[in-house]
């Protein structure tokens, strides 16, 4: 009926946040407004991506190298600036820290009213941009506890349980936003005709085990023997399927929906692996745990890890509980 369709179309993100908190107090209003701004960032990035192959200055590299030593793409830079722009004059976020910035960015007019920090990876999996495959944005919100304006963000060096909200936006055939404020994991789909993210799945629960394993097997030669043994074990079992897109958000989304495990282990040369704790692994771990899954670095729950610097990397094993425990058992046997 019309009424049902209308009801569904009105299940917007900002309303959902308020409903979850069952409150209209200042903290609830803040969180709702924060999510609304993040949604706006997602819409801006999705719009640019949708016409990327037609516009000048969208694809390819800028020529610069970021703090991680990676070549910066034009879309990385654009996406990074989008998140800064949407929080200007919001009174919400005082500080933003991202993969693309060596030190945090402060929005002085929001400090100290804006007691929140946004941690984000503006465009995750950006090697997929030039070939028109899925990419994502990852975000987490934390309470700001430090007053420093000197770029020294010592208060951010805390474990993942300190995240107030976390999620990702997946730019795929449709644009999706998956988020949690610690009350379950919820999936929204962007309806382009409305320009709104509409609730699609509430309280997503992922399978306790699944057949997908997602890992870059080109690194086999560089792995520790324990990871090689796990992958050898998988190769000898019927029933597993390999899926790896080169963009964490897409690979995790599949595993959230269908079950399985994603691994980015360390190598003998880089024992911490590739993915960064504060704005890649920890937000995703928060979402996966809220959906009944598990995340670890092989020996420790991922959300318990306290970073020693802003851009710290950590091995990541994440997904369905049983699959993650199996990988851990190989690591812990070693």
Determine whether the annotation assigns residue 244 to a binding site.
yes
- Angle at 243 (CA atoms; ends 239, 249), nearest 5 degrees: 135
Is 124:248 a contact under the CB 8 Å cutoff?
A: yes
Determine whether the annotation assigns residue 245 to a binding site.
no
Q: Which residue number, 36 or 219, has a Cβ lying nearer to ligand AHM?
A: 219
Following DSSP, what letter does each residue of 76-137 receive, concatenated? Answer: HHHHHHHHHHHHTT-SSEEEEEETT-SS-EE-GGGTTT--EEEEEEEEETGGGGGGT--EEE
From the list ligand AHM, Mg ion, none, which binds 146 (C-beta under 5 to 8 Å, kind-based)?
none
Residues 6+ apart with CB under 8 A from 235: none
216 binding ligand AHM? (CB under 6 A): yes
- Residue 319 gets the label, from left (phi > 0), alpha (psi -120 to 50) or beta, of left
Least separation in angstroms between residue 72's CB and ligand AHM is 10
What are 106's two structure tokens? 């402060």
Sole binder of ligand AHM in the list 42, 114, 125, 307 (CB under 6 A): 125
Q: Between residue 61 and residue 90, which ones bind ligand AHM under the rule CB under 6 A? A: 70
Q: Which residue number, 124 or 251, has a Cβ lying nearer to Mg ion?
A: 124
Is 58:74 a contact under the CB 8 Å cutoff?
A: yes
Determine whether the annotation assigns residue 280 to a binding site.
yes
100 binding ligand AHM? (CB under 6 A): no
Q: How far apart are CA 115 and CA 188, in angstroms?
A: 26
Q: Which residue number, 121 or 289, has a Cβ lying nearer to Mg ion?
A: 121
H-state helical runs in the chain: 2-9, 13-21, 26-50, 74-87, 225-235, 248-258, 282-290, 321-333
What distances in angstroms separate CA 127 from CA 60, 207, 303, one per listed residue?
9, 29, 27
Determine whether the annotation assigns residue 124 to a binding site.
yes
What are 39's two structure tokens? 């949604």
295 binding ligand AHM? (CB under 6 A): no
100 binding Mg ion? (CB under 5 A): no
Determine whether the annotation assigns residue 196 to a binding site.
no
Sole binder of ligand AHM in the list 41, 79, 248, 278 (CB under 6 A): 248
Sole binder of Mg ion in the list 30, 100, 124, 289 (CB under 5 A): 124
Least separation in angstroms between residue 274's CB and Mg ion is 9
Least separation in angstroms between residue 99's CB and Mg ion is 5
Interface ranges with Mg ion (CB under 5 A): 121, 124
Residues annotated within the binding site for Mg(2+) are: 99, 121, 123-124, 280
Interface ranges with ligand AHM (CB under 6 A): 70, 99, 121, 124-126, 216, 246-248, 274
């Amino acid at each position: 009926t019309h009424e049902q369709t209308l009801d569904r179309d009105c299940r917007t993100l900002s309303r959902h946040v308020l409903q979850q908190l069952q409150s209209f107090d200042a903290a609830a209003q803040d969180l709702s407004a924060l999510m609304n701004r993040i949604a706006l960032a997602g819409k801006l990035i999705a719009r640019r991506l949708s016409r990327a192959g037609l516009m000048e200055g969208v694809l390819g590299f800028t020529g610069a190298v970021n703090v991680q030593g990676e070549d910066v793409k034009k879309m990385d830079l654009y996406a990074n600036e989008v998140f800064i722009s949407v929080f200007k004059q919001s009174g919400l976020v005082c500080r933003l820290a991202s993969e693309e910035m060596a030190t945090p960015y402060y929005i002085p007019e929001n400090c100290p009213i804006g007691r929140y920090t946004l941690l984000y990876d503006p465009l995750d999996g950006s090697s997929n941009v030039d070939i028109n495959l899925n990419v994502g944005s990852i975000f987490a919100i934390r309470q700001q506890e430090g007053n420093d304006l000197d770029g020294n963000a010592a208060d951010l060096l805390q474990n993942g349980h300190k995240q107030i909200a976390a999620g990702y936006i997946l730019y795929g055939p449709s644009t999706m936003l998956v988020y949690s404020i610690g009350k379950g994991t919820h999936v929204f789909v962007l309806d382009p005709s409305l320009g709104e993210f509409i609730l699609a799945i509430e309280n997503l629960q992922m399978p306790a085990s699944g057949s997908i394993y997602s890992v870059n097997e080109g690194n086999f030669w560089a792995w520790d023997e324990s990871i090689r043994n796990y992958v050898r074990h998988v190769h000898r079992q019927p029933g597993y399927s390999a899926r790896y897109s080169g963009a964490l958000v897409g690979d995790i989304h599949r595993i959230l929906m269908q079950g399985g495990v994603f691994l980015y282990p360390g190598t003998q040369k880089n024992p911490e692996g590739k993915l960064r704790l504060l704005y890649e692994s920890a937000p995703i771990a928060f979402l996966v745990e809220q959906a009944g899954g598990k995340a670890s670095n092989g020996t420790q729950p991922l959300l318990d890890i306290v970073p020693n610097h802003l851009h710290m990397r950590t091995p990541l094993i994440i997904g369905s509980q049983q699959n993650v425990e199996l990988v851990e058992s190989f690591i812990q046997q070693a």
